[in-house]
Amino acid sequence: MIPVDDVNLCNYCHVDSGRADLRQCSGCKSRRYCSKECQRKAWPAHKNGCQASSKFREEMLVDSELAARNSTLSRWISKWQPVIVNAAVDALNLPNNSAEDYLVTHSVFIEIGKRPDPPNRSAGMAYKVLRGCVMTNDEWIQEMISRGASDEHVEGWGREDRGPDVARIIIHCGDLLRFLYLSLGATRETRRHEDRLAAHLLNLCWYEVLCREIHSGEFLRGR
């Protein structure tokens, strides 16, 4: 399994330092750095996102409905993470997209929405997939602008850089937004040499497979 937002990696230099030796950002509580120097260098790009995360946590303290939706989304992502990761890798089609900066300039975008008729009340069946595609950075910026993102958030995204071996998955759910990061590392080089035709065929159907799996719920049975 490819790690999602590997907790052992510094979020600036991407060196595997081990979680115990990483310092947590006191603002967002999610970014970790191997040194004060890395944290300082990361701050210009991280500042807007950090402040937004802090503000969001404050909003959830006074808005129980928002907190409940955020919790449901977190549990949904946790349950479907292996399926989402596999779909994202197929969507990126690395054997046929071997440019060194491909993962820096492209992201996998998945939009989900509330299921009108969920078969049960479990968090894993709360949402259905509405849309999925691979976006360039420019396309995602236009998407952000169309959804009313502030100039600060757009600029912050433009400065975001986790390195050439980290893939990004954007999950959009109403007014909630999540980013998953796949630390591919040596896995990326291995995938470059996989069968290009097979990768192309998987790429053609990744979205349909993702929709089908999440709609059926088969993956969650027995888990």
pLDDT(63) > 90: no
Average pLDDT over residues 45-74: 84
**At which residue do the structure tokens 């509580």 appear?**
29
Torsions phi, psi for 150 (to 5 deg): -75, 160
C-alpha of 119 from chain center: 26
Alpha-carbon gap, residue 175 to 105, rounded angstroms = 24
pLDDT band at 6 (very low <50, low <70, confident <90, very high): low
95 pLDDT above the threshold of 80: yes
Q: What is the pLDDT of residues 209-222, one digit of tens each?
A: 999 999 999 888 86
Residue 170, beta-bridge partner list? 109, 179
Is pLDDT of 74 > 80?
Answer: yes
Q: What does the alpha-carbon distance between residue 111 and residue 189 come to, in Å, rounded to a whole number?
A: 29
What is residue 7's predicted lDDT score, i.e. its pLDDT?
A: 63
Amino acid (one-letter) located at 10? C
For residue range 105-154, list pLDDT tens digits in order: 999 999 999 999 888 889 999 999 999 999 999 999 999 888 887 777 77
Burial class (CB in 10 A: 0-12, 13-18, 19+), 196: middle
Percent with pLDDT over 90 in the chain: 47
Please, which residues bridge with residue 24 across strands?
A: 32
> How far apart (Å, rounded) are the C-alpha atoms in residues 160 and 11?
11
Distance CA 114, CA 174 (A): 9
Provide the 3-class DSSP secondary structure of residue 99: coil
DSSP state of 194: S
Alpha-carbon radius of gyration of the chain? 18
Helix (H, G, I), strand (E, B) or coil at 137: helix
pTM of the model: 0.82
192: pLDDT confidence band, cut at 50, 70 and 90?
A: low
**pLDDT at residue 3 tops 50:** no
